[in-house]
Structure formats: C-alpha cells, structure tokens
Amino acid sequence: MISDLLAEAEHKMEQAVDHVAGEFSTVRTGRANPQLLHRITVDYYGTPTPLQQLASIAVPEPRLLVVQPFDKSTVNDIERSIQNSDLGLNPTNDGTVIRIAFPPLTEERRKELIRVVHRMAEDGRVSVRNVRRHSKTDMEALHGEISDDDIRRGEDELQKLTDHWVERIDTLMGNKEEELLEV
C-alpha cells in the first residue's frame, strides 16, 4: 500500500517538475526559440486557437523567428496576438509571413526575467510539497491497517522523493538563470 502511494506521489512530482521545465522554456533569453510562442492563442473565427495550429514557426537565424500562417488571411490576427502577449516582442508583417527579431536583452530585463523564473520555480516547489502533503495524509489514513513503523518509513521515503524533485527544480532554475545572464 505504501509503495503504491509512493509511486503515485513520485509520478505527480515528476509531472510538476515537467510543468516547471515547460514554463521555463517560455521565458525569453535573447535567442529565438519557437517554444516562446506556444502559449499564444489567436482569435480564429471567434475561437481561441493555439498559434502552432495556425502557422509553422521557423528559426532561420539565432535572433529571428519566422511565423508562416497556413491561411494568409490570419496574418494580421497572429501579429496582433503576438504584440498583445506579455513577451514584449514586436513582430513585423510583410503580408505573407511574420518576422520577429529578438533584440539583445537589457540588464534590467534580464533581472526581471530572473524574478519571473524564481516565481515559476517557487510555484513548482509548492506543487511538489502539496503532493507530499496529500500523500502523507493518505499514509496516515492507513493507521491501523499497517504498523506505525511502516508509516514512518513511508513518510521518510516520501521526504527523500520531495527533496529529490525540489533539488531538480533548483537545478533547472540555475540553468535558466545562467542562460538569461549569458551575453
């Protein structure tokens, strides 16, 4: 029973860390990365639609993204969605494709992005700790069915899992910080 709870907790913690890693990939670093545009939705005939379903995204140069819509009539809508996003990007449109040039990041913008990354990492840590709390509650509910020693061993193992996944988030955060500080 305890091993099932631990396996489920580990799976949920891993999902939380994967989510944080995905969030980190949407933070702009000064290099063009198609992942940045994955959060953007475009109003396509009254329906919010993810950008990657409406266009192909290419990286012809390290500081340039090219968005080529499948339907040419959506060029202006896509451009407007990118401008209105919180990414701080300024797309240009030639009627058929949208080009997004990435200017070098200023020191102030780098610090702001590092704060955003820290906030994302803390949200991830909180998610992992919530999984621990719920699993610990489930283990304590088994009191009477299994021995107190088994419950205590399970809780110790749960804490080790929590420490491992929180450490993984911290490693990802450190890597993203280095990437942001890279000139």
* Token pair for 143: 């009191």
Could you give phi then psi for residue 146, rounded to 5 degrees?
-130, 165
Q: What's the whole-model pTM score?
A: 0.70
Cβ neighbors of 172 (< 8 A, separation 6 or more) are: 17, 20, 21, 24, 121
Distance (Å, whole) CA 65 – CA 17? 27
* Predicted pLDDT at 183: 62
Whether domain 34-101 has CATH 3.30.1360.40 = yes
* Predicted pLDDT at 132: 93
* Predicted pLDDT at 148: 87
* Predicted pLDDT at 116: 86
Domain regions of the chain by residue span: 2-25+106-181, 34-101
Distance (Å, whole) CA 117 – CA 112? 9
* Predicted pLDDT at 167: 95
Residue with tokens 């107190």: 148
Q: Contact, 75 vs 90, CB < 8 A?
A: no
Q: For the chain, which residues score pLDDT lower than 70? A: 28-30, 86, 183
Whether domain 2-25+106-181 has CATH 1.10.132.20 = yes
* Predicted pLDDT at 30: 67
